[in-house]
Amino acid sequence: MYIKDIQLMNFRNYQTLSLTFNSKINIIYGKNAQGKTNLLESIYVLGLTKSHRSFIDSNLIKNDCNQSKIVGNIVKNDLSSKYEIILEDKKKLLKIDGNLMKKVNNYISNINIIIFYPEDLDLIKGSPSIRRKFLNIELSQLNSNYYNILNDYNRLLKMRNDYIKSNLFNIDENYFQILTSYLIDKSISILKLRKKFIDKINEIIGNIFYKISSIPNFYIEYKSFIQYEEDEKILKEKILNLFQDNREKEIKYKTTLIGPHHDDFELYIDKFSLKTYGSQGQQRMAVLSLKLSEIEIFKKYKNETPILLLDDVFSELDDQKKNNLLDYITSDIQTIITTTDLNNIDLNIKQNSKLIEIENGIIKNIEEVE
């Protein structure tokens, strides 16, 4: 798939912007703080309804404005559809071809976007919540059910936590057990989909990592609150027991202590965790491998190439890694790159790219592919 064009209204430092993209490679360049990342972010938000770098939607609205709008045409299997997002302080409207989409999952499962950005290393070094967010975003793009299940889970979790807090000495056992049982059912659905996703990554990632680093035995491991079990009945029984064991602790801490909302994943070479033992270089290669695996997974399971966004990543990669990434770019995948310095980019790539210069939220110059 590829994005054909985008129009912005009051998004970050853009008052209005209208831009068409090349279906292959696009390079957005310009000095620091001119709006390169903002433009990339607008594509990400158009596809996923949320920003990769801000939890708060209202940050996306141009200062002193009360509404922001992103519109773009995205082509999938030669068919173009118009996607539209209208952001207000506490409201977000999503439309496809003019039709209001009431369910976020029906919107985001249509567009596949993969982003590389400088903070990616946090995927390895950062807190588990960053890795869970990664899993949740990828799975929501792959499977339109996942988003719903996760939403149901979070809703039930909040209900259960609120109930524990407000009824500490006076718990209605029946109600509490039913709530717990519903929560566990959603946990199991989440675990199943995450487990399948991790298995898919593991079919691919070892080879990719080996190609980049010449180091074998690289893999990813899902770290769960419970040892996974194929048989749902047995799994539910195990989780129920664990809840039972944690009952007193939950009352003490007034919150639900176990569940996939605390799960994590870790990357390994042999039995050595990259987080603990990996060099900075290995960690970078691991993130790169993870993202490249995603591309393969989208191709394989959705029969679709994702849109690739590369935010200022070329300055940090050495030649070997750069070339590996470029192998993918030069295949038939739409890529949108930002850089402060066009010299960071291979001449060969540059000649085949649309060049867009941004200055202070305005397009200063455009060069189409010759």
Contact positions vs ligand ADP (CB under 6 A): 12-13, 30, 32-38, 59, 61-63
For Mg ion, the binding residue among 37, 110, 256, 339 (CB under 5 A) is 37
Q: Given the complex with ligand ADP, which of 3 and 297 has the nearer CB atom?
A: 3
Taking the complex as a whole, the smallest distance from the CB of residue 229 to ligand ADP amounts, in Å, to: 46
Whole-number minimum distance, CB 140 to ligand ADP, in Å? 25
CB nearer Mg ion, residue 13 or residue 224: 13
Find the shortest distance in angstroms from Cβ 139 to Mg ion.
27
CB nearer to ligand ADP: pick between 61 and 157: 61
Q: Which is nearer to ligand ADP, 138 or 357 (CB)?
A: 357
Q: What would the 3-class secondary structure string for the chain be?
A: CEEEEEEEEEECCEEEEEEECCCCEEEEECCCCCCHHHHHHHHHHHHHCCCCCCCCHHHHECCCCCEEEEEEEEEECCEEEEEEEEEECCEEEEEECCEECCCHHHHHCCCCEEEECHHHHHHHHCCHHHHHHHHHHHHHHHCHHHHHHHHHHHHHHHHHHHHHHHCCCCCCHHHHHHHHHHHHHHHHHHHHHHHHHHHHHHHHHHHHHHHHHCCCCEEEEEECCCCCCCCHHHHHHHHHHHHHHCHHHHHHHCCCCCCHHHCEEEEEECCEEHHHHCCHHHHHHHHHHHHHHHHHHHHHHHCCCCEEEEECCHHHCCHHHHHHHHHHHCCCCCEEEEECCHHHCCHHHHHCEEEEEEECCEEEEEECCC
Nearest-angstrom CA–CA distance, 239 and 331: 45
Residues numbered 96 to 135 that lie near Mg ion (CB under 5 A) are none
Nearer to ligand ADP, 35 or 206 (CB): 35
77 binds, among Mg ion, ligand ADP, none (CB under 5 to 8 A by kind): none
Backbone phi, psi, residue 307, to 5°: -90, 130
The CB-of-60 to ligand ADP minimum distance in angstroms stands at 6
Smallest separation, CB 53 to Mg ion (Å): 10
- Residue 12, contacted partner among Mg ion, ligand ADP, none, CB below 5-8 A by kind: ligand ADP
Q: Which does 32 bind (CB under 5 to 8 A by kind): ligand ADP, Mg ion, none?
A: ligand ADP
Question: Of ligand ADP, Mg ion, none, which one does residue 177 interact with (CB within 5 to 8 Å by kind)?
Answer: none
Strands 307-311 and 113-116: parallel
Provide, rounded to whole angstroms, the least separation between the CB of residue 19 and Mg ion.
17
Output the smallest distance, CB 295 to ligand ADP, in A.
23
Task: Please report how close the Cβ of residue 118 comes to Mg ion at its closest, in angstroms.
Answer: 8
Q: How many whole angstroms separate alpha carbon 32 and alpha carbon 346?
A: 21
Which of ligand ADP, Mg ion, none interacts with 112 (beta carbon under 5 to 8 A by kind)? none
Judged by CB, which is closer to Mg ion: 57, or 311?
A: 311
Looking at the Cβ atoms of 64 and 248, the one nearer to ligand ADP is 64
Q: Binding partner of residue 278 among Mg ion, ligand ADP, none, CB under 5 to 8 Å per kind?
A: none
Q: Which is nearer to ligand ADP, 213 or 344 (CB)?
A: 344
Six-digit token pair at 60?
A: 């996306």
Residues that bind Mg ion (CB under 5 A): 36-37
